[in-house]
Amino acid sequence: MFNKILIANRGEIAVRILRACRELGIRAVAVFSEVDRKALQVRLADEAYAIGPGPSRESYLRIDNVIDVARRSGCDAIHPGYGFLAENAAFPRACTDAGLTFIGPSADAMEALGSKTAGRQLARRSDVPTVPGANNPIENPDDAQALAQNMGYPVLLKAVAGGGGKGMRVVTRDPEFASAWRDASSEALNAFGDARLYLEKYLEKPRHVEIQILADAHGRVVSLGERECSVQRRHQKVIEEAPSLAITPELRKKMGDAAVRLARAGGYVNAGTVEFLVDAHLNFYFLEVNTRLQVEHPVTEQVTGLDLVKLQIAIAAGHRLPFAWETITPRGHAMEVRLYAEDPENSFFPSPGKICSLHAPSGPGIRLDEGVYEGWTVPMDYDPLLSKLIAWGNSREETIARLRRALEEYTITGIKTNAGLFRRILTEPDFLRGEIHTKWLDEMLQRSPSAASTKENANANRAGDAAAIAAAVWQANHSEKSSGRSSSSQDSGQRSRWKEEGRRRQLDRLL
């Protein structure tokens, strides 16, 4: 096993990996940018080192800086987490060259499966169903438009190096094609430095279902079952759950077999996810492979009882998987919501700033993977993910009830979050019945919010106002006590006691 692991990431995933290292008795090294100097992973790590300024391209994306810290601190392995360098094939190669173990797949496997185009080609050679479309990137928009006309609209333009909905456009008719191509390629170039696109048939309202796989270096590849990821906003996952209500035991076996077959064909080792689209007739189609740990991995952990991060570390250290696919029996139901520092009432704009207060939920079946704390300032520089709230129950109904209760307990002031959006989703009849698809949330958001949601938002605003007034009252009292001056008429006038009393009364009304 390793002696010291560098965690090449930040936020909640860095804290998650750090905790696994602590339980395994492995020293954990954190890295941080200038704006993350007081981040939670820095506070909890055994050692922490600066790697550059705030912009990720000058810090978390600098392979040379990360490798240099790993060498200087005496690490023997690096865990990339997700995002940043996690799916950059140059990173595992640099680790190998430096004599470090990369906790993830090899560079060759990453290139064979991580690229959408290469993954699609390998899937077809491995007899894994794929969505009809072009096998290779299309350089000429006129050729792409001709293929779209031949296939029939709607079609989907997707960035070759894409992810998170970037460089993706749905085209429903011929006159839209040129502008959609231009926008998708421009967005792909800005986001990934690669403007190439490919085209596929657009499936109407499919479900997004993914299979979690683990593979060791001794030839064992297992499926840990599926996760339902259909609740998405603009192609970005918002809620994940396991198991999926739509998947029958027979379909689960077929999808698991396809995922394992694909992983074997690509020489894959470590944790990965094979993503599929499932249509209304339960036909499934390969979408892509995520050659890393997924944001939503906790829901699989909750229903299987496995620690995927510890298993990643063990696999990278050369250990065999201690179980076969047939021995895994998922139990109960798990669901995860992603809590972001963003304002759903203002087009989901990021909401950076200082966290004035934070109360974390707890109780039966509740887990919170977080990377923030009270008093910390959320920076503007990175993805606004704060925490992941996960609930487990014996049934989906119990899980939803626990998640609702946990969201009611979760309070944070100083910044906006999307917690209210989840409270609304968890009351929607379609969601409660499991009748969801990848466009369901976008359609729900176009509808007017329910009366209950409006009341909830008002209550949230009142709570924020109350916190601000309480802070003002505390500050006034604190200033009075720390000044050490007598309460002369002149001092009283400066402190404006009538204003203090007004604040207190307003606070009483709000509370």
| pLDDT grade for 91, boundaries at 50, 70 and 90 | very high
Beta strand pairing call for 101-102 and 221-233: unpaired
Q: How confident is the model at residue 163 (pLDDT cuts 50, 70, 90)?
A: low
Confidence bin at 235 (pLDDT 50/70/90): confident
pLDDT score at 447? 87
- Mean pLDDT, the chain, rounded, equals 89
Residue linked to tokens 């995520």? 290
Report yes or no: 338 and 385 within 8 Å, Cβ to Cβ: yes
More confident: 458 or 491: 458
Amino acid at 164: G
Q: Is residue 376 pLDDT above 80, yes or no?
A: yes
The DSSP code for 130 is B
**466 pLDDT band (50/70/90 cuts)?**
low
For residue 93, give the nearest of 113, 81, 110, 76 by alpha carbon.
110
Residues 62-79: what's their mean pLDDT? 98
Do the Cβ atoms of 38 and 376 come closer than 8 Å?
yes
Mind telling me the catalytic residues? 292
Across the range 372-378, mean pLDDT stands at 97
Its pTM surpasses 0.95 = no
Look at residue 402 and tell me whether its pLDDT is greater than 90: yes
Find how far residue 221's CA is from the centre of its chain.
Answer: 25
Chain position carrying tokens 């490798």: 67
User: Residue 198: which region, alpha, beta or left (left: phi > 0; alpha: psi -120 to 50)?
Assistant: beta
Residue type at position 52: G
Whether the CB-CB separation of 6 and 80 falls below 8 Å is answered with no
Does 132 score more than 90 pLDDT? no
